[in-house]
Amino acid sequence: MRPLYSIVFIAQAGLEGVAVFDVPDGRVAVARCLDVYANNSDILNTNIRFQDGLTGQTIWLKDWGVGQGTSAQWQGRQVFPPLGRIQLQAGNGPVDARLSGYLLYQP
């Protein structure tokens, strides 16, 4: 039996735009926890989307209204197959984000 280790897929302060993690061939990624923070002082809402980078499917969305600044957390079990893509997309302002989980060997 192979050991199981946690991995940080994406960790970025001030994310603006897109950050991705490409799942290596022969591996399966399991996203477990996403921690985010934003302090929105803009005239537009700031948001972050946790997405399947290949299909564009949004798994989780956090939206901060004008003048809001808080942290938020998503916890779950989203599986990404070999050669899949995990994506975080921030809009209308910087977001601190850290996504972690497991990177397993394909059976």
Domain residue extents for the chain: 6-105
- What is the band of 106 on the pLDDT scale with cuts at 50, 70, 90? confident
Integer distance in angstroms from the first to the last C-alpha of the chain? 11
> Which tens digits make up the pLDDT trace of 8-33?
999 999 999 999 999 999 999 999 99
Contacts for 55 with CB less than 8 Å, ≥ 6 apart: none
pTM for this predicted structure: 0.92
Predicted pLDDT at 41: 78
Domain 6-105 -> CATH class: mainly beta
Residue 77 pLDDT exceeds 90: yes
Residue 84 pLDDT exceeds 90: yes
